Amino acid sequence: MNPGMKPLSILHTEWSNGWGGQEIRILSECKGLAGRGHRVELAGCPQGKLRQRAGAEGLVFHPLDMAGPWDLPALLKLKRLMRKIGAQVVHTHSSVDSWLGGMAARLAGAAI
């Protein structure tokens, strides 16, 4: 990290439950950001392989069901999570979590 840069609190979201290129890239980004001193956490599919892999790497993963882009309970849970962990930046990756994460970030005052 740049000597003058303060660490950020970053939340990554992912709706997918699979394991492929996108999930591998997300995990790689999270590890890289954490390695540079940022606080990085993830939120996504409770049954997803990303949850297992993130845990194995020592990253915090918040299981969160997302039924679709208009899942109001998931939106509110995401907003509360963002405020609870002090997320400054929210990085979304898939369609459903991009809709929900984008709206929740706006409500929580985080950059998307």
Question: Where are the chain's structural domains?
Answer: 14-91
Looking at residue 26, its amino acid is I
- Three-state DSSP state, 1: coil
Residue-wise pLDDT for 71-111, tens only, equals: 999 999 999 999 999 999 999 999 999 999 999 999 999 99
Residue-wise pLDDT for 13-59, tens only, equals: 999 999 999 999 999 999 999 999 999 999 999 999 999 999 999 99
Looking at residue 37, its amino acid is G
CB atoms within 10 A of CB 28: 11
Cα–Cα distance, 75 to 50 (Å, whole number): 20
pLDDT at 1: 60
